[in-house]
Amino acid sequence: MDYIKGVVHQELDGFTEDEAIRANIITFVSFTLNRYYSEHYRNQNKNYHITNDRSVDPGFIERPTEQEPLVRNTDAFFSQFVEYPGHPNFPFLALFCPSGCANEGKLDQAQSRVLAREGKKHTQIIKSFYGENYNTRSAAFIIINKKIESFLGPLKFGDSGGRVNQIQTYLEVIGKNYNMQVFRKAIEENGYFGEKTVKAIKTFQKNILNRAGTQITGVVDQATWYKILTRYYIAIQSPSRNDASDSPTQQIPTSAEPKAPAPTGELVVSVYKKGDLTPIPGTQVEISDMNGNIIRRLQTDRFGNIETITLPALPTEIRSEEAGGAQPAQGKYIITVKHPHHEQVRVEYVKIHASSKATPEIHLSPTRMEDMSPIKTIKIDDSKPAVGKQFENPYNISQLSIHPLSFYSTYEFAHGYEPNPHPRIGLVIPDTIRLHLVVKKDLITGKWIRTRARTIEVPFVEYVKGVLHKEINGFTEDEAIRANVIAVVSFTLNRYYTDFYRRRDQDYHVTDDTSIDHDFDEHHLANAQEPLVRNIEEFFNKYIEYPGDTFFPFLSQYCSGTGVKCAEKKQMEQTPAREMARRGKSHLEIIKHFYGSNFETTTAAQIVIHNELYSFIPPLKLGDTDKRVLNIQHYLDVIGKKYDQAFLSAAMDENGLFGDKTKEAVTLFQKHYMKLSPGKINGILDLKTWYALLTRYLKVVNNGNQRPMGAASLPLHPAGYYMPHPQYGLVCKTFLTLYGPRSYCYYTYFWEMNHSYYQY
């Protein structure tokens, strides 16, 4: 309350128009509650709720010279706030300015005075700036001295009951502390608002509230109630009365609150040109609730991003696979993107999860004004519960070839290198996955989701993103997400390298039939979640290997662990994995818990992108210097020139040294293009940053038909084809399992870790 008064006296000094003051007070309260309950600064690892930096927060005076109209209206309206349309009880981030911002969806303080002088009420003033669908609401409780107090409605002569008795009790304590008999007399009416209580209230309003004339009403309005309440707490803490035995309120612990705050999450929308992903600044982005009520209207900056905003979110435990068709509307939004020179796009059912950040990307195709087509609509579908999972024996690997010569020819392929023992073989992440989308029906409504099957080709990492945005959308626990990433990668690599479907005369690697494979979200970019994207890009090169140091990806099956159980079959259950992560278990501990203590994870050696081979590199940081740093600087330079962002191109000035300019470029790339949360931005070129930078670089050069730098062209040759250096061949392995020895062979790009040719 003192904070709001400090803000009001700083921001509204000299205001005398009651309705304008009230509109501004409600705005300040709403803004402050939003900052508090969204933990805006705590999410940035800062130990405060708000600042007095007037460029981002309200101004504040610590010890203001109190002005009567400001104090009176603050006492009367500090419990009211603006709520988000369609989301009752959650305070709107009500922005404002001194003047000149009425057309920006902010409250213009100078203009609010004009409207008040024209006879407008405070609610009308608020609606005139924020929109007709914005309403005000009163808070239910306030915490004072670690106690919950409920706001009272007006009490007047003739009323009776517990609330009246509560006020009389407060007045009695104040009367004893101030030695004012008139206050102590009210308790004699024992819950009835009679003449003694009226007299006590009028005396309080005159002597304590400094009211005069018609403002002395004898009615307990909010301002009077709050002042009585605060004077009561001063009285019970005074030396003459240091116990609270008369308190009719409920004692609560320090950390308790009257009501759990509504969950919130963050949203930042990015708009890029389809193809080379050039940012499109000045794009209008409208965020609406699922009823179509516009909540915010924003514009993209030079990076193609809107400002990060906080909105009501889906509760932590809501998960699409489990909830089926009965999910709440809160936390789901419609995003509409408009630009005069690009197509218009509307995305429905974008999700924001509690304590998380949604980072949807919208890719627009250019268009001419005269060729404006109807708005393109994308619907984010919810996963539906799987009827059941078909268990596969993960050790029953069909043998492509078990002829002994197949095994030996693999090592003859290594150009005379005869290791003893045999060198390890590391798999390469394939370029794309051919995904068969099956016919699907909604199990809840019975409606067809997809009436015709089709096959699409998806880049490997994008496939993993599509799977996990469908199956664990809403997970925020890093270690649980990582365990799921590794399981999906391992399963998919197994399907790919065993040619599971191709050996059944099917021209694809995997399906989205959830009874045997994984679900898949075709529109995962428009529903991207920062924790999922960040962990996928950091762990997509890891997989579970079969026991025995075989380096072959395990068929890591899993299920939700809620509607479908599978732990007894040595498969991972996703929701229990989440609980394990909350208890501090690492992703490897989660994997071993479900699949077995003898299972380990390993790392792929390289990845193929656009038929070019790229080796994974160790993290690069300030002070490092070699050709890999030069490659990274080249990537930054190409992107910077294409996007007209000199801070990226400046890294090239350091010519192979990871200096301050390179660190700044990497840091800003992580912030503006990867949209990492503040605590995850480190200026280090780790795997996720390398992959995000490389793939964006390739979008630019491939769109411009340029030759990428830092890649090895990858000719495809049949098994046994002799080359000076091994790149592609038939690999055969034999290992012991619970079912006896198993041999398998597969065609793959491979890397012999002990071969000097592959060492830096």
| HEC profile of 275-316 | CCCCECCCCEEEEECCCCCEEEEEECCCCCECCCEEEECECC
**SS3 assignment for 579-595:** HHHHCCCCHHHHHHHHH
Hey, CA dihedral for 210, 213, 214, 218, is it positive or negative? positive
State the residue for tokens 């996720």: 688
Nearest in space to 136 (alpha carbons), one of 242, 220, 19, 54: 19
Task: Tell me how far apart the alpha carbons of residues 182 and 171 are, in angstroms, rounded to a whole number.
Answer: 9
Strand segments (E) across 409-485? 425-429, 432-437, 440-441, 448-450, 454-459
Return the pLDDT at 387.
55
Q: Are the C-beta atoms of 295 and 386 separated by less than 8 Å?
A: no
CA distance 351 to 331: 6
- Domains belonging to the chain, first-starting first, are 2-140 (no CATH), 144-251 (1.10.101.10), 264-379 (2.60.40.1120), 442-604 (no CATH), 612-713 (1.10.101)
| 260 dihedral zone (left: phi>0; alpha: psi -120 to 50; beta) | beta
How far, rounded to the nearest angstrom, does the alpha carbon of residue 63 sit from its chain's CA centroid? 39
Contact of 395 with 454, CB cutoff 8 Å: no
Q: How many residues does the chain have?
A: 760
DSSP3 helix / strand / coil % (the chain, rounded to 5): 35, 20, 45
**Maximum CA extent, the chain:** 109
CB atoms within 10 A of CB 393: 10
Q: Is the peptide bond before 421 cis (omega within 30 degrees of 0)?
A: yes
Tokens matching residue 312:
């009501």
Alpha carbon distance 370, 13 (integer Å): 51
Q: Are 79 and 4 in contact (CB under 8 A)?
A: no
For residues 185 and 726, give the distance between their C-alpha atoms in angstroms, rounded to a whole number: 99
* pLDDT number for residue 636: 97
SS3 for 59-113 is: CCCCCCCCCHHHHHHHHHHCCEEEEECCEEEEECCCCEECCCCHHHCCEEHHHHH
pLDDT value, residue 741: 54
At how many degrees (to 10) do helices 162-178 and 195-207 cross? 50
Cα 341 to chain centroid, rounded = 30
In this structure, what are the phi and psi dihedrals at residue 613, rounded to the nearest 5 degrees?
-100, 125
Q: Is 334 left (phi over 0), alpha (psi -120 to 50) or beta?
A: beta
* Confidence at residue 444, expressed as pLDDT on a 0 to 100 scale: 52
Q: Residue 316: which residues within 8 A CB-CB, separation 6 or more?
A: 263, 353, 354, 355, 474, 476
Token pair 């340029």 is at which residue? Answer: 706
CA distance 644 to 122: 46
Class of residue 116 by CB neighbours under 10 A (exposed 0-12, middle 13-18, buried 19+): buried
Low-confidence ranges of the chain (pLDDT < 70): 88, 145-146, 148, 152, 237-261, 316-329, 368-373, 382-388, 396-426, 441-450, 549-550, 704-760
Closest among 423, 335, 315, 430 to 754, alpha carbons compared: 423
Sheet containing 284-288, strands listed edge to edge, beginning at the edge strand earlier in sequence: 294-299, 284-288, 332-339, 342-351, 376-379
Pair type for strands 510-511 and 432-437: parallel
Supply the pLDDT for residue 707.
56
pLDDT at position 388 is 66
- Do 492 and 541 form a contact (C-beta atoms < 8 A)? no
pLDDT digit string, tens, across residues 212-250: 888 889 999 888 888 888 888 787 765 444 343 344 443
Both tokens of residue 735? Answer: 């290992």
| Cα within 13 Å of Cα(410), Cβ side | 24
Burial label, 759 (beta-carbon count in 10 A; 0-12, 13-18, 19+): exposed
Element (H, E) at 144: strand 141-144
